[in-house]
Amino acid sequence: MNIVVAVPLSFDLTEFTEFLWLHRVPHRVVEQGEQQIVVVADNVDSVQLRDIFEQWRHGSALSDFSVARSAGRRQSVTAAMAGSWLTLTLIVASIGLSMLIGFGSNLELLVWFTILNPYQYGADTTALPAVFDAVSAEPWRVISPIFLHFSIAHLAFNLLWMWIVARRIEMHRGAFFISALVIISGVVSNIAQFIDGGPLFGGMSGVVYAVIGYAWWFDRQQPVPRYGVSQGLMVFMLVWLALGYTDVLSAIGFGSIANTAHLAGLVAGVLFGTCQSVLGRRQ
């Protein structure tokens, strides 16, 4: 969401909001302290609207203005694709690698992307030093499990949230920021899940919990939520996390759940947001 204007509560915005509705501009008016803030979607030209508002505020008639929506939509789609190329790359990589391993049925290929090869290390596959040995020789293993999915439902669930939330973070913070969040949370959740259950696991779930946790924590600290991770969504994700530690999800067909990866990813995402906030205040 982008802020168009912030004015005192006593300011009458009725005519301006009617103008926005007339031109089908999605917007919200949020009260924050002694101000009311007009916010619009990311694909709307907030600079143009701010200019229209200022001219209207100084006496111009809103009927003299128009909002070029069709061109704006085409430009916004192009900008969105360009601004979220890393998220799209992660999604394509997950689809491609999951299909390559036959959603877990092709063990010969699967063991090349698990955190270590269980056939190579044998009984040592529950020992953390084995991971360091494997990663030092084949460094992709520390992150590659996040691209492995073992069912279409598993893949679709994770990639849907990556598209909804991670894409917004990338468009707001940039590719470097989202790559740092994905790598840190991916490594942390992979190692945590290995310690808890061994090397045969996979999925983007730990990263999904990290990006949702980060976005939720960020929104809680802002006067106007940017990522749209509501309290209700966070409660749903926590309930899903709790259910994963029971037999309920397995009983209804979701199979084995990498619960420790979910929890580690969530903690990593919230800590990532906390560190960012602390550094931002110091700067």
Cα separation, 100 vs 55, whole angstroms:
57
The answer to whether 262 is a known catalytic residue is: yes
Choose the catalytic residue: 179, 205, 250, 256: 205
Backbone φ, ψ for residue 77 (5° rounding): -65, -45
For this structure, is 76 an active site residue? no
Rounded CA-CA distance 275/248 in Å is: 35
CB neighbours of 265 closer than 8 A, spacing ≥ 6? 185, 186, 188, 189, 205, 206, 207, 208, 209, 210, 213
Q: Answer yes or no: are the C-beta atoms of 200 and 114 closer than 8 Å.
A: yes
CA dihedral over 88, 94, 95, 96, signed as positive or negative: positive
- Output the six-digit token pair for 105: 């049925």
Compute the C-alpha angle 95/97/99, nearest 5°. Answer: 70
Cα dihedral across residues 48, 51, 55, 57: positive or negative: positive
Name the β-bridge partners of 28: 39
Q: Which of 10, 63, 262, 277 is catalytic?
A: 262
Q: Which two tokens stand for residue 252?
A: 């209804």
Query: Which residues contact residue 171 at a Cβ distance below 8 angstroms, ignoring those fewer than 6 apart?
Result: 42, 80, 83, 84
Positions annotated as catalytic residues are 205, 262
